[in-house]
Every structure is written in structure tokens, then in C-alpha cells.
Amino acid sequence: MLGIVRQKVLGQSLQKVRPGVSLLRSYSSAAKQMTVREALNSALDEEMSADPKVFLMGEEVGEYQGAYKISKGLLEKYGPERVLDTPITEAGFTGIGVGAAYYGLKPVVEFMTFNFSMQAIDHIINSAAKSNYMSAGQISVPIVFRGPNGAAAGVGAQHSQCYAAWYASCPGLKVLTPYNSEDARGLLKAAIRDPDPVIFLENELLYGESFPVSDEVLDSSFCLPIGKAKIEREGKDVTISAFSKMVGHALKAAEILEKDGIDAEVINLRSIRPLDRSTINTSVRKTNRLITVEEGFPQHGVGAEICASVVEESFGYLDAPVERVAGADVPMPYAANLERMAVPQVEDIVRAAKRACYRSVPLAAAA
Amino acid sequence: MALSHLATSSSRSAALLRPLSSSIYLRRPISTDTTPITVETSVPFTSHQCEAPSRSVETNPKELLTFFRDMALMRRMEIAADSLYKAKLIRGFCHLYDGQEAVAVGMEAAITKKDCIITAYRDHCTFVGRGGTLLEVFSELMGRQAGCSRGKGGSMHFYKKDSNFYGGHGIVGAQVPLGCGLAFAQKYSKDENVTFALYGDGAANQGQLFEALNISALWDLPAILVCENNHYGMGTAEWRAAKSPAYYKRGDYVPGLKVDGMDALAVKQACKFAKEHALKNGPIILEMDTYRYHGHSMSDPGSTYRTRDEISGVRQRSVIQLKE
């Protein structure tokens, strides 16, 4: 069973600032720093405070303060009726969460990692996602399924899979992938307020990372639209699309590429379903080259869908084949050196961008 | 004469639009007699971890006639669905409930529309019991817009949210945790109502059922798990699928009651008892001993795994004749 995995994020250039108890201490107009963990915690807190129908359930969310401390302090504040510790029975408690949503409550179901969501996937897909359609709108399911997704560090094959592509292929679901603290706050609030089932894919390695947040982001009414990507970095030579942790990698890759005279545009997808095809295609029509980056398995992945979308809508604008950077097509190995090779690194993105810009020898065939 | 009254009053299709309670079948003089009478159930209840309710059930002539009418309507409806399916006007799956009508009808007599019901795919009669009309049923089965799910659901996905009927589920066993979730929400909202989650003897072996029951017992949810034991999970007899076919005892620490599911009054008594129990003490299991005359679905002749003698033997105990 997964215990708490405290991870120091390697090569992190941002300082980790822990603001302590009050985030509202105003330090003149300097941007405040907030970790993704604090962003999620504050979003949950504010939404639970605003709407009494919102409740949280999952393993260790209450007395343990959350396996990754995302729900810290919530049990004390809202009581055991609204913050529920469940037994280790995903199929059972997920079904109960969906049933509660049928009745009109707004459950937030936490999976300790999304790997465990497979035990409950029938309820997510058949009981939650499809019900609004099958009932011709009579039943709506305002539920959020959230938790860490994708690779952590050294947790092995059964605890490292990325589920973005699987869930995003199913009509009836919305799939969100926050990157920074602003994403985490805005998207989680949007997810909780949304009347449909939302899969909220966090990343364990991002929980401790700190990002600047504006006053607007800190406001309790702050919300981001679902289905809109964000251009994190504007560029004109090549488009790099990424989500979750890979956005950080893509931004670093862009800095390296800049030194080589390649100006990369980085898109933070934020939403895998609905996918912001418009932003992606507009960007590709500007740069004419596309790299898609994801952590998950390459076959039938998010990058495959993005490539198909670009081929359907902007084929004439492409000056090079779409490059797909994804995790290796193997179950995640344990040894650190093998794990590093199984997950995309910054250098992989740089190489792919250079290939797309005809700056290096093309791959003979996909590995 | 009542029949001429029929011809002049409303057209046949308008009658289909009205819910069961105001059906035009009833224009001939029907008893509105509400004098209480007491009837004994056919067999006593068997209980597990609780005291069984009394065999004597309070009823009245009007209610008994309502039972007869409702069950007869459901029976004719299912037989009509059989013919429609054979005429290829109904596609895909069609799971018929004839033989089990007493469970739907007895349950409705014990509860209100504020209590929730959720069931699996053998849902046509349960839907009608909750107030669904024949027009909605047949339209849905034939994929028309007038259907309860506007033709998008089909036989297995009937819903009626305004009567707290939550479907209509195709995945065996999934409806039980969902039902416990409805019960959770009722308790959370302080509604003082209960949820009946129906499942079959085949679904009784599903792991998620025990997961949901564990949580329901831990959190004292007003959930009533009703096993409609028709003794066959598709083509597999209960003794071939379950090491312990005493489904009412499967809850272990959760009380249970075994009920003659062919006797609508026994079902009514059991559901009334269960509702009182669930509101005070948390989950309870009801096992309804019942039978389906059709096969598992229209694709199943229902004769390869049971004998015609068995079927005709059960017809002797016919649920509708008991009422006569």
C-alpha cells in the first residue's frame, strides 16, 4: 500500500516558500507564492464552505489529513459528516459517491492514486459518465474524481500509469490536468461547480512545487473555464503542447531551444476533455510545427488525438510531421536510471523540437 | 353500462398517457372500500439477526383490488413486450419481469415516492410502479422520443427522477453501491426517507455489494438491499453460483428477512418493516423468494436450464391468482 511519498523535486529552480498560516498577509504588491498542495487545499476549503452539498470522501482524507496532505485541516473544520474516511474499497465507495451525486449532492471522491481508480472504473464510466445521456438529461452527476496521476518516483509499474488518454476517450466525462497553483485552484473550483462528472488528474511530484499567484487567483470566486488551454510561452517556430508535469519540462526545453535560435510556443492544455483544438490549431497554423508531450504510454495517447486533430484541421499548415514525445512503451521500471529513460526528459523534448525544425537527423522509425 | 362510458370518454392512446392509478380499465365499478381487514401471509417470515414482523397484514378491499389490477397490468405489459420483441419492434436486450410483479407492487404499497428505488435491467414493472405510463414504456422500448429516456436508453435504462426512481442499470451489481449512495444522500440531507436497492440472486455474489454493505453498516445508512431471488442468474441456478444461497443471511452482522415474493401482502409487510428498521438502525437485507416465467431475457428461451414442470409448478402459486 502506498504510504506518503515525500519527494524533493530535482533541479527545481523556484524557491519553496511556505507562507505559514495566513496567505492573505499582504506584502505590498509582490506576487505571492503558493504550492500546488496549498492551492488544492484552499480550493476544496472554499468550495465546501460555499456549498453545503459538497463533501469529500476517500481513503485517509480525514484523520490522516490526506495521504498527500491535500485535505489537511478539512475534517477539523467541516466534521466527519462532510469529510469521510472510507475503507479500502474503491468499487464500493465510488459507487456510493455516484449514487449520492444522482440524488443531488456534490461529492469529491479522492483516489489515493488514479491507479486505484481502475477498481472503480465501471462506476466512473457506466454509472457516472453515461447516465446523463442514457436518462435523456433526467439524471445529472455533479461528481469530481481527483487524485495523483502518472509517475511518481520509484513507485514501480502498478503505481505509475497515466490515465489521461483512457478517461478522455469517454464521452460524458470531463478530464482536467492542472500544472501550476493557479491551474490547481481555478480548475478544481470549476470541477466542483460543474454539473457533470470531472476527472481531475493531479501530479504527486507537483504538490510541493511553489508558483506565484496573483490576488485574482487567491479570491474565493476565482475559477478557470473548462476546455481552454493556456499559452504559457509565446513563440513562432514550433508549438509544444503538454499537460501536468510535462508543462514544466516543456518550458525548460523552450529556454534551451531559445539559445539555439528556436522560438518555441508552449501550450499548457489544462483540459484533455474537452480538448482545446482551437488553441492548438491556431498555434500550429502560426508555427507550422508541433511537438506533443505526455507522460503516458504512446499508443492511443493524448498526443495521438492531438496529431489527428491537427491533420484534420490544419494539415496544409504543417511543415514537418507531428512529433510525439511520450513515456516509453513499457510498464514503469523501478531502477532510477531505467525510470528516467521511461519518462520524457527535457532533452527528449529539445531533440524532438530540433527534429521538427530540421536541425537534426530524423528518426529512422519510431522506437 | 361502463363500457359505453369508455368509448365516449377518451381515446385509447390518451389512456396510455395516464399513470397506473387513473387507468381507464377501472371505469367499471370498483371497490372503494377502505374497511381495514387483516390477512395472513402465505408463509411466515424467516429472519436473521432481527425479530420477524407479524404474519398478519393490515389491508383493505380497495388495496387488494389495486394490487390485482396493477399486477395484471404489468403481466399484460410484459407479455405484449414479448410479442413486440418477436416482431422485431424492440431491439437489443429485453428482460421481462412477469412472475415477479408482486415484489414491485407490494413494495410501492409500503413506501412513498420520496423513498428511492434503484434496480438493474429488469426494470419495466418497477418503473410502472413508480408512476411510469405504458406509453413511456413502449415508446422507450421501441426507441421513440415519447419514451421515458427519449429513446436514448432502451429497455435497461428507464428512469423517473421525479418519483425517485434511479434506473435501470445494465452492469450486474453496480446498482447496489449506487443505491447505498442514494441512502447516504438521504441521510446527509436529513430527509427521513429510505432507499431500496434491488438486485438478483446472480448479483448477490458481486464483491461491490459487500463493499457497499460494509460502508452502509459503518455509516448507518438507511439502505434496504432487496434480493429478488428468482433462483437463476441468467442460465445458472443459484446452487451452482452460490455456496450459501441464504441471501438474507449474507449480510452477516446486517439483519435480514426472507419473504415470499409471490405474495404482495408479505412484500408490503416486509418493506414496511424494513423502512422502519433502516431509518433507526441502518441497513437491512430483504430476500424475496420469487420466480420469472420468461428466460433471463428475450434471447433466452428459459427452458435449457429448467424444466417446464418447474415453471408450471410455480404458476400454481401464481402471484395474481393469489390475489383472486
**Minimal-distance CA residue of chain B relative to A81:** B188
pLDDT of residue B312: 80
Determine the residue type at A98.
V
What are the boundaries of each domain within chain B?
72-317
Compute the Cα dihedral for B142, B147, B148, B152 and give only its sign: positive
Check if A2-26+228-359 and A32-218 are the same fold: yes
**Minimal-distance CA residue of chain A relative to B156:** A134
Q: Rounded to whole angstroms, how far apart are CA atoms B73 and B65? A: 12
- Residue A26: is its pLDDT beyond 60? no
A85 class by beta-carbon count within 10 Å (0-12 exposed, 13-18 middle, 19+ buried)? middle
- A101 and B149: CB-CB below 8 Å? no
What are the boundaries of each domain within chain A?
2-26+228-359, 32-218
Out of A6-20, A179-193, B25-39, the most confident range is A179-193
Q: What is the mean pLDDT of residues A31-40?
A: 95
Q: Rounded to whole angstroms, how far apart are CA atoms A58 and A75? A: 12
- Looking at the complex, report in whole angstroms how far the Cα of residue A98 sits from the nearest Cα belonging to chain B: 6
Determine what percent of chain A is predicted with pLDDT higher than 90: 89
The owner of cell 500550429 is: A284
Interface pTM (ipTM) of the complex? 0.89
Q: Is A91 on the interface with B (CB under 8 A)?
A: yes
Q: What is the pLDDT of residues A296-336, one digit of tens each?
A: 999 999 999 999 999 999 999 999 999 999 999 999 999 99
pLDDT of residue B18: 57
Active site residues of A: 90, 159
* Residue predicted with more confidence, B162 or B167: B162
Determine the residue type at A261.
G
pLDDT of residue B314: 79
Q: Name every residue in B having a CB less than 8 A away from some CB of A.
A: 116, 118, 148-153, 157, 159-161, 166-171, 174, 176-186, 188-189, 207-208, 210-212, 214-215, 218-219
pLDDT category at B43 given cuts 50, 70, 90 is very high
Residue B16: name the closest of B5, B24, B7 by CA.
B24
- Looking at the complex, report in whole angstroms how far the Cα of residue B251 sits from the nearest Cα belonging to chain A: 15
Determine the residue type at B285.
I
Q: What is the pLDDT of residues B98-149, one digit of tens each?
A: 999 999 999 999 999 999 999 999 999 999 999 999 999 999 999 999 999 9
- A136 and B150: CB-CB below 8 Å? yes
What is the CATH class of A2-26+228-359? Answer: alpha beta
Q: What is the mean pLDDT of residues A3-20?
A: 45
Q: Rounded to whole angstroms, how far apart are CA atoms A4 and A208? A: 13
- Residue B232: is its pLDDT beyond 80? yes
Determine the residue type at A331.
P
- A95 and B188: CB-CB below 8 Å? no
Nearest neighbour of B214 by CB, restricted to A89, A123, A135: A89
Q: What is the pLDDT of residues B281-303, one digit of tens each?
A: 999 999 999 999 888 898 888 88
pLDDT of residue B31: 74
pLDDT category at A9 given cuts 50, 70, 90 is very low
- B211 and A139: CB-CB below 8 Å? no
Q: Is A163 on the interface with B (CB under 8 A)?
A: no
Q: Is A105 on the interface with B (CB under 8 A)?
A: yes
Nearest neighbour of B180 by CB, restricted to A84, A87, A96: A96
Peptide bond into B168 cis (omega under 30): yes
What is the CATH class of A32-218? Answer: alpha beta
pLDDT category at A6 given cuts 50, 70, 90 is very low
CATH superfamily of B72-317: Thiamin diphosphate (ThDP)-binding fold, Pyr/PP domains (3.40.50.970)
The H helix count followed by the E strand count for chain B is 12, 10
Three-state DSSP at B128 gives helix
User: What pairing do the DSSP bridges indicate for beta strands A264-268 and A230-233?
Assistant: antiparallel
Which residues of chain B make contact with A105, given a CB cutoff of 8 A?
185, 188-189
The H helix count followed by the E strand count for chain A is 13, 14
- Looking at the complex, report in whole angstroms how far the Cα of residue A53 sits from the nearest Cα belonging to chain B: 9
pLDDT of residue A174: 98
Q: Is A131 on the interface with B (CB under 8 A)?
A: yes
Lowest mean pLDDT among A132-136, A304-308, A351-355, B9-13: B9-13
On whether the pTM is more than 0.80, the answer is yes
Which residues of chain B make contact with A97, given a CB cutoff of 8 A?
181
Nearest neighbour of B215 by CB, restricted to A93, A101, A103: A93
pLDDT of residue B320: 63
